[in-house]
Structure 1
Amino acid sequence: MKKYLLILLLSYIHMNALEVSILYLEQKVKKPPVLSNVIEEPEDLGIQGAKLAIKDSNKSAKFLNQKYKLITTISFDKKELIASYEKFIKDGNGFVILNVENEFFKELVKNPLSKKALLINAGNKSVKLRKNYCQNNLLHTIPSNAMLYDGLIQFLVKRDFKDIFLISGENPKDKEILADMKNSIKKFGARVVKEKVWDNNADIRRKANSEFPSFTQGGDYDVVVLADHFGDFGEYMYFNTWLPRPVAGTQGLTPVAWHKVIEAWGAAQMQKRFEKFASRWMQEQDFSNWLAIRSIITSLMQTNSSEINTNIKFLRSKEYEVGAYMGRKLSFREYNGQMRMPITLVQPRALISTSPQVGFLHPITDLDTLGIAPYEMECKE
């Protein structure tokens, strides 16, 4: 009799097991030739964070009778990515992590099948994607450029580096970052006292010490702020400016969501675990994908349901929060689905500060001093 009851109990547990698949979708892009010998990004950037999150989560999930599976599609071919995306949703699944470029992002969001899915952007920092797309089923775990450069400018203003020499490249991503930097500078009362575009397409490695002093000559300034997404020239600006001034932005003092030098609040253990798993440092996009998976699974563990709308409602509720080794619980903004988080300011080998800085206040949380405010939302599409 006892044996029979045990078999019934095990059968009941098996019948009520919650098994959830999560799709990791990554669009590979051909990058322009880099004119300097900067260290290239790892080929497995992003996906390793997602894989570690699944591995870690499945260890505790067995006690809740849950199991998570990661399905990955990584390709240069948009047709292949769309086919995988549509098949995943048609098969009855709905949790999708996106690492795609702007135009493809818009295409996926407008896909009729997307209404049946929860989409989490873990790889694109574009401010426009937060301003113009307000779908309830769209969340962001990677900080926007607005959050990053608000964090940087807060620190510069706090330290009285208010007069800024702004230098950008000609790449479209440089121009996008430049616009976001200008918004942050205006927002926190700093000043652009000089602005230039580096339009020299020559290899700067052997000529930096002769080119940059003359390029940065003229007038006084407190700090040089760079918008150089691909590192064409920015890495060589250190100690090569006409005036002896610090460098910040995409190079120098850099705002990030995650970095090797973050060690407090249990982050050191996270760093070691990732390095053992991936045989390299955890970078910002690894972290944002880890956080996307953890956000979904934190919800699943609370709702004990794979129903998409149930989890969207919980993820966007005031009750939802997720731990992420940042010294405070994180949550999503209700008006654009952006995850609130501190921004770390680093130089290549040390943590310098963490924003929001003391003294920058907000009626709800100081984390909302970083990034887009509700009145900036456009939601045109």
Structure 2
Amino acid sequence: MIHKIDSTTGDGIYGATFLLYDSGNNPIAQETSDDEGYVRFEGLMAGRYYLRELENEGYIPDTQRKTVYVRSGETTEVTWKNTPITGQIQITKYAEASSPITGQNSGTPLKGATYEFVRERSGKVVDYITTDARGVAASKPLPLGRYLIREVSAPAYYRLSAETFDVTLEYAGQIIKLAAYNKPVELGVSITKRGNAQVMVGQSMRYDLTVANTSNVPLESFFWHDKIPYDAARATTLTTGTYSARLNYRILYRTNYNASYQVLASNLLTSNNYSFALNAIPMQAGEAITDVYFDFGKVPIGFQSVVSPTLSVMAYANAVNGYQMVNRADVGGKYQGTWQTAQASWVTIIQRLCSTPTLPKTGY
């Protein structure tokens, strides 16, 4: 067995081909090193053999024949070193467009982009580099050959690039310089709310909502929340709506008697439209639901409501005529510690029918 290694790093070398000769200098077998640098010749009789290296991309070939002796019942291991012929790859990272979050202009060098180097022949990762404050990163000396280079971590508030560089180092001392660009993260969420313009005391009405992640990145801790106008109405029915990505989520609520959120339902599927009778939740006298909170966790780009969620309320019978009942809702999500939120509200005028008094008849 041969262990083919880099004389500088000690790492195994993939793809080195060896020819095995018997004691009479007759070629009898040919094998190539695996991704750990090992070459195995099996089933040999005890005796003397010769080894010769045929090819080894990226390394100075060692054409000297080596003599090995195989003993019955034993594994003979030969360590064979090669000196690499090296070049280097440099990457400079820039902002593709101005960032609304960091304030950096288009073309600004970017710190913190990490790249992975994969040797194409072996599929092994051979280096990682990260750009400095000048936006520059350089590989260690690499043996000549072909490399696939991918970004594995983007600078803060920039999107990970899907670009793969396919680069070949062809001669000793070659330096290949690459320019790479990242698109800035754009954060956005939206919420809309619609309901009745007017409602009679003692009557029900419904609010319809839409929510969306309009960012160009996924958001964590995504939620939408409704503040119920419990001073003028009581929540009766909640329907969850459906959403564009299949996720599990939960719904929380709280009341005017308890500032802590309680779980209404958990492990819900975004593909199902559930209905909950909020007025059936056991309450104390004078207690009312004040808030409903949808907790989705991490949501993908483009996440949005498909069938609109709804909230129905009933105006109190003793509500004041002409009172402006305000329902407020908000939505939000987080990216790398930065929150993005939006709000919506709807005003409904409460009406009460006023009967005209009957006046006494006078005259003849």
Range of TM-score over shorter length: under 0.3
- The structure whose residues are more often strand, as a share, is 2
Using CA pairs under 8 Å that are at least 6 residues apart, name the structure with larger relative contact order, 1 or 2.
1
Structure with the greater alpha carbon radius of gyration: 2
- The structure whose residues are more often helix, as a share, is 1
TM-score scaled to structure 2, two decimals? Answer: 0.24
TM-score scaled to structure 1, two decimals? Answer: 0.24
